[in-house]
Amino acid sequence: MSKLDNSNVFSICKTVVICGLILYVCTIFFFNDSDQYPSSDHLLSSLKFTRCPSTTQTSTSSTNTSHLFFGLLGSEKAWHYRKSYIESWWRPNVTIGHLLLDVPPQGDDLLPWSLNSPPYKISDNVSKLLKETNHVESRVLRMVHGIMEVVREAHEGVRWVIMGDDDSIFFVDNMLDILAQYDHTKYYYFGGHSEFILSNYWYSFNQGFGGAGIILSYPLAREFANNVMSCLKRYAHLRSADRTTMLCLADLGVNLSPLQGVHQIDLRGDISGFLSYHPKSLLMSLHHFDMVDPIFPSMDRAQSGFHLQNAAKYDQSRMLQQTICHKRSSNWTFSVSWGYSAHIYEKIMPRSWIQRPIETFKTWQPSPNPPHYMFDVRSSSRDPCEAPHVFFFKSIVKTPRNEILTTYTRGWPRGIGICLSAGNFSAEYVSEIHVYSPATKRIQVEVQISHIESSPI
């Protein structure tokens, strides 16, 4: 090739590169200036100027409590008896966010406002919003619009916005461990399914049930807030806040990433069978706390919430994590749901069978035909070889040997005789079970093990 040809090629390449750079700069300028465009009532217009999130981290610092902003939806009427649920896990001057009430608090039991409760704010004027959107349901409008109201108050540095109800218990440390695995600068929508299969069928298998908590990365929450009015107009006919939220987020191009540890608790009655056989995932929330029996039989609901958090203060990553072991000299099987319960079976039972929750609970609504639940269950049994001796969490201490000792005391006499299989022994005389655990957080132990397993030999 001649020198002239080389010169022409070089000139052409130079021109292409310069044009590409100019186009790139213009593109950045155009999209960064997209906030100047007003939102529209029409789907295409409301999405036209949606800005895609960055694909790189804006900060290398690890996620901590200051990066989470909680928005808890409640009512003044219910807060009189629900505030203990939130106060069991809320950390004054540590956790950040507020409670959205429908009207100002009243009564000597609420005023002066407790320092152990989240600070409260009053929801925006719902009547005015109803006129603007022609929405059919004021309750739904208030809940969906509440996301925008929470985002409006979020401080600089927030990475995740967490919406939930005032009858839920959250496990903040576990949330941090989960969310630290994700890039907060991208669009994420986390939540949990309902345990009751028909609830998912009636509403959607793709929605997060918001009472148990939905988690939005801040860029997504901000974009949702920018489009909330057009969304409420678009879905003014819907009577479900969770479904409306899901559809608004889907219109922004984001679908649910479900988390197993987020529990709607669409169950009734005694949920000890569910809590005693928790899946191998970090416990993040328990909703509908006042719609089920107290989870500890000797306590009321308020006391139960604080008691469960007593164990959580030592190590949230172990909460409800099931451990199964056998004492073959007595033909016993142990199942421990850390921080909640322990069971003894008078027979060597396969782990695959023990991992299935006992159906001590009832369906959320009458449901004559199975399937009822989004998980496997086994029926309660009066067979002494299959029915466990049940013990509940009593106390927790740190031992001089740097271990955590949890004690579980018998809930009630089993009273159905002993298992007559050859060589078996009765466990009726056992009044307490002591469980020793390392002081190191379970999740840190797992990380250490994974590093060892992945290291070259």
The encoded tokens of residue 333 equal 């099987």
pLDDT of 34 reads 38
- Read off the pLDDT of residues 75-122 as tens digits, 9 standing for 90 and up: 999 999 999 999 999 999 999 999 999 999 999 999 999 999 999 999
> What's the rounded mean pLDDT across residues 210-234?
97
Nearest-angstrom CA–CA distance, 214 and 216:
7
Instruction: Report CA-CA distances (Å) from 19 to 23, 30, 244, 354.
Output: 6, 16, 44, 66
Question: Cα–Cα distance between 212 and 223 in angstroms, integer?
Answer: 22
Residue 39: pLDDT band by 50, 70, 90 thresholds? very low
The Cα–Cα gap between 308 and 393 comes to: 8
Residue 16 predicted with pLDDT over 50: no
> Could you tell me the two tokens for 23?
């186009």
Contact 340, 321 (CB under 8 A): no
For residue 112, cis peptide bond before it (omega within 30 degrees of 0): yes
pLDDT of 61 over the 90 cut: no
Segment 145-162 shows an average pLDDT of 95
Look at residue 423 in the predicted model and tell me its pLDDT: 73
Q: pLDDT value at position 1?
A: 46
Q: Can you give the C-alpha Rg of the chain in angstroms?
A: 27
> pLDDT higher for 8 or 268?
268
Report d(CA 34, CA 51) in Å as an integer: 7
**Mutual orientation of helices 241-251 and 218-226 as an angle, nearest 10°?**
100
Task: Answer yes or no: are the C-beta atoms of 359 and 375 closer than 8 Å.
Answer: no
Higher pLDDT, 49 or 442: 442
pTM of this prediction?
Answer: 0.84
List 409's β-bridge partners, or say none. 392, 432
Say what the pLDDT of residue 457 is.
Answer: 35
pLDDT (0 to 100) of residue 442: 74
What is the model's pLDDT at position 217?
A: 98
Using the predicted structure, report yes or no on whether residue 196 has a pLDDT greater than 60: yes
pLDDT, tens digit (0-9, with 9 covering 90-100), for 245-263 = 999 999 999 999 999 999 9
Look at residue 444 in the predicted model and tell me its pLDDT: 67
Residue 416 amino acid letter: I
pLDDT tens figures, 334-356:
999 999 999 999 999 999 999 99
Q: Is the pLDDT of residue 3 over 50?
A: no
Mean pLDDT within 26-50: 37
From 371, 95, 39, 385, select the one nearest 228 (Cα to Cα): 39
Q: What does the pLDDT average to over 386-401?
A: 96
Sign, Cα dihedral of 35, 39, 45, 50: positive
**Residue 11 scores a pLDDT above 90:** no
Mean pLDDT of 185-194: 98
Q: What is the dihedral of CA 208, 214, 219, 222, to 10 degrees?
A: 100
Q: What are the tokens at 273? A: 């069978």
Predicted confidence (pLDDT) at residue 32 exceeds the cutoff of 80: no
Average pLDDT over residues 175-180: 97
**What's the rounded mean pLDDT across residues 224-244?**
97
**How many other β-carbons are positioned within 10 Å of the β-carbon of residue 214?**
26
Judged against a pLDDT cut of 70, whether residue 169 lies above it is answered with: yes
Percentage, residues of the chain above pLDDT 90: 79
DSSP 373: B
Q: What is the mean pLDDT of the chain?
A: 87
Nearest CA among 173, 145, 257, 262 for reference residue 213: 262
